[in-house]
Amino acid sequence: MKLTELKNKKILIVGRGVEGQAVFEYLKKNLPDQVVDLVDKKDGENYLSSQRNYDIAVKSPGIKAELIEIPYTTATNIFFANAKGKIVGVTGTKGKSTTSTLIYEILKQNGKDAYLGGNIGVSPLEFIDLLTDMSITVLELSSFQLSDVKFSPHIAVMLMIAPEHLDYHVDIERYIEAKRNILRFQKENDFAIINSDYPPSRESDLLTDGKVYWIGVENQLEQGCFVKDNGIYIRLSGGEKRVMEVDDIKIQGKHNLENACAAILASMLAGADLKSTKSVLKSFKGLSYRLEYISTKKNVKYYNDSLATIPEATIGAIEALGEDVQTLIAGGHDRGINYEELGKYIATTNIKTLILFPETGKKIWDAVVKETPESNRPQKFEVSSMKDAVRLASENTDPEKICLLSPAASSFGIFKDYKDRGDQFRKEVENLTN
């Protein structure tokens, strides 16, 4: 929604998080003489009781639409409608932050006027006034941000899609449809980059009017970026080119090869050269809380993967670190996700110790029990504090092996968020004696 459409309206911002605060500052700066109020559920359970006194609401991500009784817009819509320059949008169940950061770093390395914002923790409204027609904004977009969006980015990246946030979206179909909004409003001169390895992503190409490019690790593609013969290839109408060696990419795991392919294509379409692309991919070590090596204590290696909030991400982490993963710390808030595939996968690994948090720890254990005979099951410990989890990991992991925190669940309850969970893990590991 353009600023001109908000002029002379009484505006209620719902949600006092990063986006809500950024909207408030942006509107007060650009519409200084108007009524702009900010409310949050922390103000009390009746915080929305006066909403009908306003002309329009700005709804923050995670606030359910049915709670809003007046016309509303969102920070994402305001940014799309008013931002200068080009926008690269990235969505998917996992890999959004890594891919967005890679694209941003490549563009910066190439000398572009690039900015990074969205679900990664910085509202783009914080830097919107700095943008020019030559700027490129890379936006990480969650399903919450996309569920109400009325615009699509010039370059839309759709990574892997798997069930998540079903406590908000009710079912997987609505979750997928929210993700697909990143493509739905594209025009013929726009570009879509879609992961071909996952059906919910692959089947989304019909929704865009933009030019479609594919990425994949499992499939060689007619038009796009893929893995073959331990190399990353780009195949376009002009022919095929080997971009770089898989072994030269710092970040580990199949999922990160998918992210690398997406970043290569998006950066190329945004005007970056392959020299800059290769330079960043050879040096980028990944994000904090995502397969992050913490320390080695008593010859046990500890890895922090607190960002893994779904089973698929945990499976990917175990695959990336390989057969040395002996202890897995998992479990957390129950959002109705199915853990059968994780149970099946754990049954095929060398994991000998499971340290499980409530509520989903029980679901994970039941899935493992279903797939393994009693004589071959990992030993199980139930915990409610990270201190106990790390102590048990230290006592029950063999030298030269790996203890992996990869929860396969969100962190609400015992921890504030995934950062708090990961920070507590790091602190307790660092407190271990050698």
Q: What is the pLDDT of residue 170?
A: 52
- Return the C-alpha torsion angle 346, 246, 115, 213, nearest 10: -90
Q: What is the pLDDT of residue 168?
A: 43
Task: Give dist(CA 129, CA 22) in Å, integer.
Answer: 12
Task: Give dist(CA 183, CA 158) in Å, integer.
Answer: 8
Q: What is the pLDDT of residue 411?
A: 84
Helices (H) and strands (E) in the chain, counts: 15, 19
Domain extent listing, the chain: 3-73, 77-283, 292-430
Domain range 292-430, CATH class: alpha beta
Polymer length in residues for the chain: 434
What string of DSSP letters covers 91-125? E-SSSHHHHHHHHHHHHHHTT--EEEEETTS--GG
The fold of 3-73 is: Rossmann fold (3.40.50)
In the predicted model, residues of the chain with pLDDT beneath 70 are 163-171
Q: Is the dihedral of CA 182, 184, 190, 196 positive or negative?
A: positive
Q: Of the CATH numbers 3.40.50.360, 3.50.50.60, 3.40.1190.10, 3.40.50.10470, which one belongs to the domain with range 77-283?
A: 3.40.1190.10
- Strand 300-304 and strand 292-297: the pairing is antiparallel
Task: Give dist(CA 103, CA 243) in Å, integer.
Answer: 16
Q: Does this chain's domain 77-283 share its CATH topology with 292-430?
A: no
Q: What is the pLDDT of residue 154?
A: 98
Task: Give dist(CA 54, CA 136) in Å, integer.
Answer: 34
